[in-house]
């Protein structure tokens, strides 16, 4: 008989060795460290700090169909370079092609400097 009840004094306060902050797992609600890429409890993948909440698929489609208008740049919030792309006709197509490759490679960044990594 060495089972404890789960209401000890350590339940509320959680130490965070090495600094950082605790966040809640998106799947199961367990408290995990903010730098964790997956939940140790349920294994669900967590939002990485530099991952954009914007997703690749619409950016890719906009770049493919309306790239020379800078549409994919409006999508990620880059209005300024979007307009620049519009007046230069997508850098004569070269700039659009580069952006398309960046989006496909998962290294296209939004206005906050965060990377678009998820397709859906």
Using CA atoms, how far apart are residues 31 and 40, in angstroms rounded to an integer? 10
| Binding flag, residue 25, Zn ion (CB under 5 A) | yes
| Binding flag, residue 36, Zn ion (CB under 5 A) | no
Kindly tell me which residue out of 14, 20, 28, 93 binds Zn ion, with binding defined by CB under 5 A.
28
Is residue 103 within 8 A of residue 72, CB to CB? The reply is yes
Alpha helices in the chain (DSSP H): 56-66, 71-75, 79-87, 89-92, 94-105
Is residue 41 within 8 A of residue 28, CB to CB? The reply is yes
Stretch of residues binding Zn ion (CB under 5 A), selected from 12-20, 44-52, 70-78, 87-95: 44-52
Give the binding-site size for Zn ion (rule: CB under 5 A): 8
| Binding flag, residue 42, Zn ion (CB under 5 A) | yes
Under the phi-then-psi rule, with left for phi > 0, alpha for psi from -120 to 50, and beta for the rest, what region is 19? Answer: left
Is residue 58 within 8 A of residue 74, CB to CB? The reply is no
| Binding flag, residue 89, Zn ion (CB under 5 A) | no
| Binding flag, residue 46, Zn ion (CB under 5 A) | no
| Binding flag, residue 39, Zn ion (CB under 5 A) | yes
| CB-nearer residue toward Zn ion: 39 or 63 | 39
| Binding flag, residue 41, Zn ion (CB under 5 A) | yes
Provide the binding-site residues for Zn ion, judged by CB under 5 A.
25, 27-28, 30, 39, 41-42, 44
């Amino acid at each position: 008989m060495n089972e404890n009840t789960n209401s000890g004094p350590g339940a509320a306060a959680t130490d965070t060795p090495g600094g950082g902050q605790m966040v809640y797992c998106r799947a199961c609600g367990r408290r995990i460290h903010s730098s964790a890429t997956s939940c140790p409890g349920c294994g669900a993948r967590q939002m990485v700090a530099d991952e954009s909440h914007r997703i690749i698929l619409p950016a890719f489609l906009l770049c493919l169909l309306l790239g020379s208008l800078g549409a994919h740049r409006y999508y990620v919030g880059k209005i300024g370079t979007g307009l620049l792309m519009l007046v230069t006709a997508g850098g004569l197509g070269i700039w659009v092609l580069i952006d398309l490759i960046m989006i496909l490679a998962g290294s296209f960044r939004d206005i906050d400097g965060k990377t678009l990594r998820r397709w859906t």
